[in-house]
Structure 1
Amino acid sequence: MQSSSRTVRLLSIAIASLFAASPAVHAAGFQLTEQSVTGMGRAYAGAGVAGDDLSAVFYNPAGMTLLSGTRVQGGLTYAEIDAPFSGSNTSVSHLPGTPPSTVTTSANDNGRGAGEVIPNGYLTHQVNDQLFLGLGVTTPFGLGASYSDNWGGRDNGISSSIMTVDINPSLAYKLNDKWSFGGGVSAQYAKADLKQGAYLPGASGELKADSWGFGYNLGVMYSYSADTRVGLSYRSKIYHDAKGDYTNAGFPAPLGGLLNGTYSGSAEVTTPEWLMLSGYSKLNSKFAVGATARWTRWSRFDQLVVKGSPVVPKLPGLTPAPIDTTTTIDNHWKNSWLFSVGGDYFYSEALTLRAGLGYETTPVPNPQHRNVLIPDADRMWLTLGAGYQISKQASVDVSYAYLRAVGDTKIDNTSHSPFGTSSRLQGDYSSISGHLLGVQMQYRF
C-alpha cells in the first residue's frame, strides 16, 4: 500500500494547492467591487447611499429608500489585468537512491488571462412611503489568470478561472426622514477551473468544482438632511462545500498507470464577510462628494481544508479502493481595506461627470504566501465616469478605471511534492496593472 499512500498524498497536495489559489482572487484577494458602473466612476465612494443607481441592493439595502417608484438596471464591466512576471524557478530533487540535483530555469511569463465581463442586474420597487423591495444578481467574487503550459513556474500554477453568481432579494424600511434600515438574503453559486504542473515535464493536474452557498446582508442609513447621508452595511460570510472532478494527465509510465485519470475532489471554502461605511453629500447644485471605507475579513483564510476521494487504479499487487483524505493548507492571509474618495459634477440637468481615487490593501502577508494564480498586491484606483439622462425614464452611465499595483509585488513561493522534489519560484510582478470599462442602463417605470 506504499504506492497507494503516495498516490493519495499527491492528489491531496495537488487539489489543495489549486484550491488554495482559487479562493484567494481579484480586487483584494478574489473580491470583486465592480457591482455598479455609476459607482465605479467615483471609485465607489458613497457606495450604497448615493441614491443615483440601484446598486444599493448589494452595497447597502437601506439605501433603497432613496429609489422611488419601480426601476430596473443592468450593467457590464469589461476587466483586463496585465501581470508580467520576471524571475526564476529552482527545482530540487531528493529521490531515494539518487544524488540530490538542483536545476534553475527562467520563469518569465505573463499571467494575463482573457478579458472578463462582470455583469450586474437590479430591480427595485417602492411598495409605499415606508417599504421598498429589491433584487440583485451580481458577481461578487472572480478570478482569471493564464500562463503557457510549459512556463518555468508551472508547478506553482498554469491557469485559473473562478466565477460566482449571487442572487440577492432584499427589503428596506424607512422609519422616518432620518433613519432607514434594510436586509436581504443571498444564494451564491461558485464554479472553479484550476490547473497546475505536477513536478514532472508535461504532467499536470486540473480541478473543476462547483457549489451553492447561502448568506445575508444588512444595512442602516442616517440622513442628516435631504442632501447628506451616511450608511453602514454588512455582508455575511458564505460557506461553500465545492465538489467536482480532479484530473491527472501527462504522467509517464510507470506512474501514468497509477496516477493518470479523473478522481473526485472537494474543498470547504468560506468567502469572507465585509463591513462598509459610506457617506455622500450634495454640496450645491453643481457638486457632490462621497467617501467609502470597507474592511474585509480575509484572515478567515488562515487555513483551507481540502478533501480528496481518489480511486486507485488496479495494478499488479494493488487492489482498487476509495480512500478519503483531508489536507490542510496554511494561507496566513490578513484582513484587507479599501478606502476611496470621489465626487460628481452636475454639468447640466442631463449630464453628470464623475471622478474618484481609491487605495486597496492586499490580504497576502508576504512574498512566501503570494501565488502565481493570484498575483495580488496593494493597488491604487483612478477612475472617471459620466452619466446621461436620455429621458425622464431612461439614463445611461459609462465609467473607466485604471488599477496599478504598489508596494510589495515579489514572490518567493516554495511547493513540495510527495516524490521528494520541491519547486521554488522567485521573482517580481513589479508592473501589475488593470483596465476596467463599464456601461450601464437604468429605466424607471
Structure 2
Amino acid sequence: MTDRAAPDDASGATAPRRLSTRETAERLGVKPETVYAYVSRGQLSSTRAPGGRGSTFDAAEVDALARRTGRREPPPAPGDLVFRTGITLIENDRYYFRGVDATELAREYAYEEVAEWLWSGELRPGVRFTAPDEALAAARGAVDALPAHSSPTDRLRVAVIAAASADPFRFDLSRESVLAGARSLVPTLVGALPPAAGGAMEGARERPEEREAGLARQLWSKLTARPADAPFVTALDGALALLIDHDLAASTLAARVAASAHAHPYAVVSAGLGVLEGPLHGAASGLVHRMLAEVLERGSAVPVVADHLRAGRRVPGLGHRLYKSEDPRAQALFALLARVPQAAGALAAARDVVATTARHTPLPANVDLALAVLSVSSGMAAEAGETVFAVSRTAGWIAHALEEYGERPLRMRPSGQYCGPRPPQPLPAADDLSRRSAP
C-alpha cells in the first residue's frame, strides 16, 4: 500500500501523508465502518477529501492507533492469501521456530522437544511421546487389514482415522485436550506402521522398551531392516525436527482450512496427509531417492542429469522457491549425515548432482536431496522420505490447528469467479438429460 503525500505548501514543507478510508481500514485491520467509529469516539481525526467525496486520515495518526490496538504490521497486498502466525518465520535464507533458528533447535534437541517448543514456546527436556494401548491397537488393526501393496501414506491415513475412533475426547478443542491428543497421535502413527521387510522385527511388533525410546528410534525399524546405528538414528531425529513445519506449505494450508471449520485434530491431520501425498509436495523425495540410487549405480551424475534434461524433466532435489541459496534444512541434514561413515557414498553422489547440474543451471540442494541421502545410504525404500515428512509434519499441523482454533471460525471462505453460461438458461429437455447420463 502506498501512502499519498499531500503537495508541498508555499514554504516547501511536505504536508502529512493522507490515507483514504479504505487504506486506513486495511492498515488498522478493521472494516470501514469501524474507522468512522474511531472518529466518533475521538480516537482518530478525519478531513473531508477534496471535492467532498469521502474522508482522508493522517497516516502517522493511523499508525499510532494501530500500535495501540495491537496492529503491528501492514496488511497483505490485495489478493494475497496471508495469515498471521507466530510459529515459523522464513527470512534471509533461514527459518525460525518461534524466533529461534530451527536448524539450531534440530541440532540440539530431539523431535519431541522441538514439537513441544512449536506448540507452546516452552522447552520440555527429555519429553517422550507414548501411544495409548487402545488407540495403538485400533490403528494397527486397521493398518494390518490393508492390502500388502498399500503405501506408507495409505497406512498413516488409515491409522489416523482408527486412532480418532478410539479417542472419545477428540471433539474437545481446548488447548489441553488437543495437546494431549497430539502427544499420543504421533507415536500411534509410528507404532501402527509394520516393521521394514527383512528386519529382525518383521512379522512382530517392537518390544516394550522400544516404545519407551525416542520417536526416531521407534521409526527407524519401520523404515529399514538395518540395525539401529546411533549416528544414523541421530540423523533421522534431526530430519524429523527440521521438517516439523515450514510456514504455510500446501498441506499446512489444508490443515488450517480444516481447523477453521473446527474439525477435530485427527481430521486436521487427515487433511494435511491428503495434500502431502501429491508428487509436488511430500512425495517429491521418492523421485530424488530413485535418481540418487541411479547415480550410485552408474558411477556418475553426468548421464543421469543428462537423461533428465533430454526428457525435458527438471532435476529433482534442487532449488526452492523460498531460498536463494541452499535450503537450510538440507545444510543441517547434510552436516548430520557427514558424521555417518555409511552415508559418504550417497553424500558424494548428491554433491555430484549439484555440481553437474550447475554447468547448465546453478540450483542449490533442497531438503529432498538430503532426505534421499539418508534413505539411500540406510537401505530404506524410496517412499521412506515421504513417511519421515508425514510423521514429522503432523506436529506442525497440530501447531497451526491450535492457532486457527483461536481465530474467527470459517474465515477462509473465498468467492468463486463464475465463468459458466449466464442465467437464465432454458430447462434441459428430458432427451438431453438421458444423453448426458448415457455411458
- Shared fold (TM-score, shorter chain, > 0.5): no
Q: Which has the higher contact order (CA 8 A, sep 6+)?
A: 1
**TM-score normalised over the length of structure 2:** 0.21
Structure having the higher helix fraction is 2
TM value normalised by structure 1:
0.20
Q: Which has the larger radius of gyration?
A: 2
